[in-house]
Amino acid sequence: MNFALYKELLAVKPVRRLLIVGMVSRIPHSAAYLLLTLHIVLSLDEGYAAAGAAAAVMTIGIALGAPWRGRRVDTVGLRKALMPSVTAEIVIWAIVPHVEYQWILPLVFVAGLLTFPIFTVMRQSMGALLEADQRRTGFALDSIGSELVFMIGPAVGAVVAAAGFSAAGLTAVGISASLAGLLLMWFNPPTRSTHAAEEGLRAAEPAFATSATGHYPEAAEHGSHSATYGPRGTSESSGFRSRIRRNFTWLSPQVGAIFAVAAGAGIIMSGTDVGIVALVERGGQQTDIGIVFAFWCGASLIGGLAYGAMHQSISPVLLLLAMAALTIPMACARDAWSLAFLSVPSGLLCAPVMTAASEKVAELVDENRRGEAMGWYGSALTAGVAVGAPLTGLFIDSMDPWSGFVAAGAIGVTVSLLGLALDRGRTTAPSKTLPS
């Protein structure tokens, strides 16, 4: 392991600033899911299945919107792509806490559809700023920043909801999310390597500029790997199916396997999330929810730090399989502290799974289509969340909180096996693989 890689990347001003803006932009929505769950359960007196359904509807909106938002970033630029979100966030989250449950569902769907594509933007910008051999460390730093945010956001949300201020908390989510969007628009991080090269050469500090890996990619670096858009001028290409084929030339069995990993990770993480809240809340320990999240996310932070310092990558499918299997023992917990300790093994693999998967997408897809690919990757992740939250809620409502962990882990194992099957069916054509 080489932890000096982190120092080298953090010495670059654009990378350091991107990580800070990414953390700030993620804070509002890190608390939103837990606030929404506890608002529905405690304030509206609905069950965890209903809360999970609301979370699912929101994540379906995110899943549908992410590819479109990613494509908009590719075509019109970041600032224009984010404009609708600035207004939508503040308006919708101001209304949600003051309406009945049946009105929450369409509102959170629209909120998800127009939410800031922060995941897509961060991974796309990292892919543009860094070379292939630096991306693992860069994505790991982004995952570490996310874990720090999720150690803070849910804990604050739990305290606010337990104190009876879930409505004020949800309103604050909208205000802070809009402000974060304005900050992201002001920063306007690069999403193409040509822009990244110009920015990086002006801003790079000497410590990184003199290192062996401290240089930015040139515009022509991946020229031989540009996407193929299919034949032109033929009558067949004018049809709908031909257009679909041209738009998805970047999609291969290997990329499909990574999308399966993202969906499985979403199922496990959302299922674990709902299971943690249910087990601790039903034990009358709502204020201890933050302790469990601190252990779980802290373990993920440590795992991401270690993985980012490694010289070799590990298959994201295998990492997901291990994470899924280690989630099941969390069913043995009986209180907040035992759950916190049992969350550590699976938590250690959360960030590595996401880092390895993002690195693989950036490796397999040309940067001309990377924003769209990252959007679909985010859609797969949020689709997994959409499945995991209500499914876990159904098990919890019909049985006990422990059953949610078993269900999430078992589904994760199944999805991992599907990913392995897709990965084995990959093509041998190297035309879309970047040098690593």
- Average pLDDT rounded to a whole number, residues 338-366: 86
Distances (CA, A) of 280 to 159, 276, 293: 13, 6, 11
- Average pLDDT rounded to a whole number, residues 368-384: 74
Give yes or no for residue 61 having a pLDDT over 70: yes
pLDDT attached to residue 241: 58
Angle between helices 350-364 and 289-308 (to 10 degrees): 40
Q: What is the Cα–Cα distance from 135 to 365, expressed in whole angstroms? A: 14
Q: What is the pLDDT of residues 245-292, one digit of tens each?
A: 566 666 777 787 888 888 888 889 888 888 888 888 777 776 678 788
Q: What is the pLDDT of residues 283-297, one digit of tens each?
A: 777 667 878 888 988
- Average pLDDT rounded to a whole number, residues 213-241: 39
Question: What is the widest separation between alpha-carbon atoms in the chain?
Answer: 67
- Average pLDDT rounded to a whole number, residues 98-107: 92
Give yes or no for residue 363 having a pLDDT over 80: no
Encode 333-356 in three state secondary structure: CCCHHHHHHHHHHHHCCHHHHHHH
State what percent of residues in the chain have pLDDT above 90. Answer: 12
Tokens found for residue 214:
């401290």
Is the torsion defined by CA of 356, 16, 266, 192 positive or negative? Answer: negative
More confident residue, 184 or 171: 171
Q: What is the Cα–Cα distance from 106 to 37, expressed in whole angstroms? A: 16
pLDDT attached to residue 432: 43
pLDDT attached to residue 240: 52
Q: Give the closest residue to 108 by CA, choosing from 94, 119, 92, 97.
A: 92
Pick from 23-32, 80-89, 188-197, 335-344 the range whose average pLDDT is largest.
Answer: 335-344
Q: What is the pLDDT of residues 38-56, one digit of tens each?
A: 889 888 888 777 887 888 8
pLDDT attached to residue 425: 58
State what percent of residues in the chain have pLDDT above 70. Answer: 79
pLDDT attached to residue 376: 78
Confidence of residue 345 (pLDDT cuts 50, 70, 90): very high
Share the mean pLDDT of the chain. Answer: 76
Indicate the pTM of the whole model.
0.61
- Average pLDDT rounded to a whole number, residues 163-173: 87
Confidence of residue 343 (pLDDT cuts 50, 70, 90): very high
Q: What is the Cα–Cα distance from 315 to 330, expressed in whole angstroms? A: 24
pLDDT attached to residue 247: 60
Q: Kindly report the length of the chain.
A: 436
Q: What is the pLDDT of residues 106-120, one digit of tens each?
A: 999 998 888 877 777
Coarse DSSP helix, strand, coil percentages of the chain, rounded to the nearest 5 percent: 80, 0, 20
Q: Give the closest residue to 135 by CA, choosing from 203, 216, 194, 212.
A: 216
pLDDT attached to residue 246: 60
